[in-house]
Structure 1
C-alpha cells in the first residue's frame, strides 16, 4: 500500500463534538516511512544540485570529509 492509498483509507469519526481521522497503526507507520522517504529524496536533490553548481567539487560545495565527521561521532 502506498501513501496515497493509505490517505484514502482514513476513516472519520466524531467524538465529543469533534471530528477525528482514524488510521490503522500499521498503515500509520507505512505513511511515516513514505513521508520520510520523500523528505530524503528532497534532501538528495538539493545536495546534488548544489554539487553540480560547483562542478562536483565537494569541498567547494561545503561538504565535510568523512574522516573529520567520524572523529566527532
Structure 2
C-alpha cells in the first residue's frame, strides 16, 4: 500500500481512513462491497481471509467449467 487514498475515495460508507500514513478500515462501517479492492492501483487490498475462503469454496464448482465462446450481435 502506498497510502494513495484511492480506496478511501471510492468507499461508499467512508469506512477507510488514513491513520499515520497507513490506510485503516473500520470493520463496523465496511459493507464488503469490494469497491476498494477494485480501485487499488497496487492490488494491496484483499478480502478478509474468512470471506475469501468462503468465496473460493462457492466458486470451486465452476473452476474447471469452460463454455464455448459465443458472439452476439
> Structure 2 length normalisation: TM-score?
0.29
Question: Computing the radius of gyration over CA atoms, which structure comes out larger, 1 or 2?
Answer: 1
> Structure 1 length normalisation: TM-score?
0.29
